[in-house]
Structure 1
């Protein structure tokens, strides 16, 4: 296929029996004459189809790829990759990476090329179809498609059948299920469209099986995070064009540490296909997406930058001494070791010098500030950089969310006083899980319950307090090795509070205009942060607001005029208010337990 022209490939797809039969159906459905539908389909195919020319592949790797990837050294799970190479001998692979940077595709291509694996066909947004990326990319496996085409039946057919063509040819594919770069540093909710097309392609008997490969790409630092954070606060996204490309490449001259590439356990798509109806197919797509993201999280490592920013983001604009930063990190390192979490090289964080080295890398990029004019050096998040710091924290946040939920459960149970520790704690845990289900990839309920019990045992190792039939005292939290809820959850809960607060203020009979509503949340959020009504500037986030709105929609809170809508909106506001207060209370407890005057000698 690499030796065919793009025009020839387009005609191959267009003239296939499957495409011709489907085009007749689409033409009838849309009311277009068949000849007109065919011409439109051909134009769409010409815009989508890619080939793999050796010459342009060379340009992609040695010119564009080199410019995009030079900012990082590589840390790769080579053993997992060699296993994938072995599987690729008789199965097509579909790589489904996290999306954090414009460099993601170039990083993975460099990794695959280094052991001689074939080039992927990469499905991405047509916003990058400009010179030189588009010119080279569409001749080196780059498939540029529209970001949205749900109402264009002919374009949907073209993308679906071109994917079928690629799969039938034995090609490896790659795309980003998040649909765009994460603005917060953690996984975005999945998009299902391309996955459904892949399932459709697998219905062909010509394809024996396809392996889905979860890929985690984690960066020590990213030069583009500042712009991502600005977009989260409502700043318009910069248009990708040649000028943008030149500026991006120039910025990549600065070294940004290491990029960590990890591969989750691949799984067979054939085995996941149901034999039932469309409803079971939709359930399967949801389940596959969930499984992909679970497996990505399971191999995403804890980085030094994540731990340092966890320490500094939780103190509400207070500066910390080096010793205070280390005091936060030390028990986290013990926890990471205790749970045997995947990690990068963290041994240097055991020493003050090692912690200071990491702080200095963040100082050099303008995320953290340092003041040396007093009796001891102190470190703090630079004004306006909280969202950038949160991006690095959030790369590992999923490892600490269940622990944070347990702390909230213990606090809720202790406040009840007489309730069963396990019963009350689990009730609160499931309530927080439901509140944040659009933010984090939680296990199924039965598995989640067991995970919570394991976390509870880490807080109360001898199970003297967190046992069935026994009330729980707040001393459980006071004696815990560390507290984390106030370090990882506040921004999310505060963002949800803003949305709930504004929904409660929305007249019942006025429809919610999403874009206007989000703009108001940005404005109100900035006001609340300035007033110190909310403590975490990174809570002002379009991505978080959209997820909160998705939850509100799921709960039926956006249906203007529906019966009891205002009562239910007020309940949502009360729920988020209570959650914000509970996390703040844990922060205050931690402050009382561990804060003391820095020793100045």
Structure 2
């Protein structure tokens, strides 16, 4: 090919070596040794365009990683071809229409048809010298980054100089020409076009995945939103109602658009990448990323909506950094307007944040502008990120999903479907787990009734003062993506695809189910770490103190249970041993070691125990069924499978909803498997009539009690709530009154029993518990009063058998005193 022969062969080799020595690729994906090339078949590399710098860099990488040569010419059967082939670019003459030259594979196809043994492997390679999402950035746009526009020789030369450490190389799956042949009508020209088309689709998908969709200028986008038919309709309606004039309302719509819209810029992404890399190295010991291959499989041809759990302000930055660092386009992030503060707000906006008010139900014009802006992002395929919980979780639990953003996303998707132009949309659940968070103190203060402090630059400076403290590691775990089209098919059948309304009647009922499904998928990707494992074991003891030897055994037990019967589909365990995990918790200051002649003791003071409750709640759902089964053997030493199922079946769905865990398809089968595993681990023994607590060794019984203690707070809350409800009788209490009385009783019980755990009597837990009872059909409303029948009384009486007499007496005493 003439493009490779613009310079002589020795000069090409020299230039390739110089570029190889000059550049330090930031990302090579997948690893070259994972390409699974067939050694017996020749390899030709394919580039998306004629760029000598890409070919020279590829030649250097091939030498460095021991891949087949990518420079010079190769003998393929009877043909001699360049080892690196570009797909031809479209040409347009002065008086001719734009045409695309034929791809250079026809000779290879004809040779393969003549001799089936003469096959060849085509390896597509995409090279990005920096990354820019297709916007104008002045001088930096000229020299610093790839975009969707074609790159000239001068700009590419300058880019090679500037981006030596910001190069990404993406290898595609090898494509064999023989796999494309149609044996019935083998047409070389047709196969040649088919190969070129497949490669172009691949290159476009990779480019979309890395750069994101091509962005229009922010000002053009805002003006388009403000002048859209949907916004103008609201403007005219408000003007007709005697509100301000239409021109004034139009100017207000533009002001709302500027208040909302992000202004993602590549220089800021580059700056924040370097800044955050230093921050993570300073703040954390490392970031563990799992499951990102699920995102990469969808990123090229799906609109991605990331829905992470919300634990810390760091969440905003962490996920964008992880995606950018792994070769994916950072998303546009929905952030609260409270973060649009001086200095911080402009930086976040240029990093991709768009801001929304906490509530805009009574502002029709703002709602129309925001909906239109969100729709245009989704319709153009831009990745999005928002937190379906609404705010950060102060208790460490997964909060119920808020319907607002989910409903707007669904309406936008239906609007695109009705318009006949859309691409598939996928929700990406993400679990973010910390060994220590920077908001520890503020969360505890707010759980005790303190006011939430307003965000400000001064508050940020106070946070920066904590950077010298150890914060351990952080994990980012991607769960099972939810394809919105498939979800709607499963919930509604195919009829929704003929829907032409953007607000159908079924939308209101569907959004909560979508939110619940996403919350479960987020929790299903939870990552266990040393701190939450230690918290699970230590907080199960009466006085938050445990012998070091017993703690190690309990941690080993928790890990083994997770390996044998995972509490969630994509949950993960930390590296190391139980002793390593305890040392990590000690190093982070989460627990203390007290040396004793008979053996060291690990303990937590009142402040540490309150903090550990937050980390325990991050992963408590992973041991929900295990803890419930263990608790059943605390008071009654033996249970048969039938008896155990009858005992646990009424309360299990309520507990599963509280902890946001996917219930098993068959509770009986899950209980049978759980009993078998507990028996294999020595915590239960099979008897004549079923399973029973082991008499020896005593330590096994202690481990079983610690497991059961995990579920005791949840069961106590349920007991208190039912006691209030049954004592009052049907039709006497509203849902709000019941939740409030349950909260007061739980707070009283915590004070009387010496628990310093505000999350135990969190009002939201009781509100959610009442909602769960309604969802399961135990309660219903008549004129806002809660009604129930004898079925609830019988189930409550049956469930009381879980509690031993002493605990039941204590709970009844607290209820009667109140």
Superposition TM-score tier, normalisation by shorter sequence = 0.7 to 0.9
1:180 and 1:69 map into 2 onto residues whose CA distance is 27
Sort the Cα spacing of 1:496 and 1:135 in 2 relative to 1 into closer, same or farther, 3 A.
Answer: farther
1:105 and 1:69 map into 2 onto residues whose CA distance is 17
What is the match of residue 622 of structure 2?
399
1:178 and 1:151 map into 2 onto residues whose CA distance is 22
State whether structure 2 residue 572 is matched by structure 1 residue 343: yes
Q: How does 1:151-162 map to 2 (within 5 A)?
A: 151-162=362-373
What is the match of residue 647 of structure 2?
428
What is the match of residue 30 of structure 2?
none
Contact 1:223/1:252 (8 A) holds in 2: no
Superposition deviation, residue 442 in structure 1: 3.4
Which shifted more, 384-393 or 483-492? 483-492
- Classify the secondary structure of the residue corresponding to 1:320: strand
Which shifted more, 279-288 or 375-384? 279-288
What is the match of residue 227 of structure 2?
15
Sort the Cα spacing of 1:185 and 1:465 in 2 relative to 1 into closer, same or farther, 3 A.
Answer: same
What is the match of residue 388 of structure 1?
611
2:515 and 2:667 map into 1 onto residues whose CA distance is 18
What is the match of residue 317 of structure 1?
543
**Candidates 194, 210, 219, aligned match of 2:434:** 219
1:138 and 1:477 map into 2 onto residues whose CA distance is 63
State whether structure 2 residue 760 is matched by structure 1 residue 539: yes
Which shifted more, 437-446 or 101-110? 437-446
What is the match of residue 487 of structure 1?
709
What is the match of residue 128 of structure 2?
none
- Classify the secondary structure of the residue corresponding to 2:607: coil
Which shifted more, 279-288 or 188-197? 279-288
Which shifted more, 231-240 or 41-50? 41-50
**Candidates 554, 557, 579, aligned match of 1:328:** 554
State whether structure 2 residue 266 is matched by structure 1 residue 266: no
Structure with higher RCO (Cα < 8 A, 6+ apart): 1
1:506 and 1:574 map into 2 onto residues whose CA distance is 16
**Candidates 479, 496, 516, aligned match of 1:290:** 516
**Candidates 116, 127, 143, aligned match of 2:327:** 116
Which shifted more, 46-55 or 505-514? 505-514
State whether structure 2 residue 749 is matched by structure 1 residue 528: yes
Contact 2:312/2:392 (8 A) holds in 1: yes
What is the match of residue 339 of structure 2?
128
2:280 and 2:343 map into 1 onto residues whose CA distance is 13
Sort the Cα spacing of 1:223 and 1:563 in 2 relative to 1 into closer, same or farther, 3 A.
Answer: closer
1:251 and 1:198 map into 2 onto residues whose CA distance is 38
- Classify the secondary structure of the residue corresponding to 2:658: coil
Superposition deviation, residue 313 in structure 1: 0.4
1:213 and 1:43 map into 2 onto residues whose CA distance is 32
C-alpha distance after superposition, 1:266-317 (max 9, x if no partner): 2322333343484544454344333333332333222222221111101121
Contact 1:316/1:536 (8 A) holds in 2: no
Sort the Cα spacing of 1:140 and 1:563 in 2 relative to 1 into closer, same or farther, 3 A.
Answer: closer
C-alpha distance after superposition, 1:456-506 (max 9, x if no partner): 3323469x9989xx9546447989785254332123333445555666788
TM-score by length of 2: 0.61
Sort the Cα spacing of 1:200 and 1:24 in 2 relative to 1 into closer, same or farther, 3 A.
Answer: farther
Contact 1:96/1:212 (8 A) holds in 2: yes
- Classify the secondary structure of the residue corresponding to 1:251: coil
Q: How does 1:183-332 map to 2 (within 5 A)?
A: 183-203=394-414, 204=416, 205-273=420-488, 274=492, 275-276=495-496, 278=504, 280-332=506-558
Contact 1:232/1:540 (8 A) holds in 2: no
Superposition deviation, residue 244 in structure 1: 1.2
Sort the Cα spacing of 1:533 and 1:385 in 2 relative to 1 into closer, same or farther, 3 A.
Answer: closer
What is the match of residue 370 of structure 1?
593
1:583 and 1:249 map into 2 onto residues whose CA distance is 49
Sort the Cα spacing of 1:181 and 1:537 in 2 relative to 1 into closer, same or farther, 3 A.
Answer: closer
**Candidates 354, 358, 363, aligned match of 1:143:** 354
1:37 and 1:583 map into 2 onto residues whose CA distance is 67
Contact 2:631/2:709 (8 A) holds in 1: no
- Classify the secondary structure of the residue corresponding to 1:180: coil
1:335 and 1:61 map into 2 onto residues whose CA distance is 39
Sort the Cα spacing of 1:572 and 1:452 in 2 relative to 1 into closer, same or farther, 3 A.
Answer: closer
Bigger Rg, structure 1 or 2: 2
Unaligned residue ranges in structure 1 (runs of 5+): 586-601
- Classify the secondary structure of the residue corresponding to 2:468: coil
1:428 and 1:559 map into 2 onto residues whose CA distance is 30
Q: How does 1:447-526 map to 2 (within 5 A)?
A: 447-460=666-679, 472=690, 474-475=692-693, 482-483=703-704, 485-497=707-719, 499=721, 525-526=746-747
- Classify the secondary structure of the residue corresponding to 2:524: helix
**Candidates 393, 397, 406, aligned match of 1:182:** 393
Superposition deviation, residue 198 in structure 1: 1.2
1:290 and 1:312 map into 2 onto residues whose CA distance is 30
What is the match of residue 165 of structure 1?
376
1:373 and 1:568 map into 2 onto residues whose CA distance is 53
1:132 and 1:535 map into 2 onto residues whose CA distance is 39
- Classify the secondary structure of the residue corresponding to 1:188: coil
1:436 and 1:329 map into 2 onto residues whose CA distance is 24
> Would you say how many aligned residue pairs link Structure 1 and Structure 2?
570
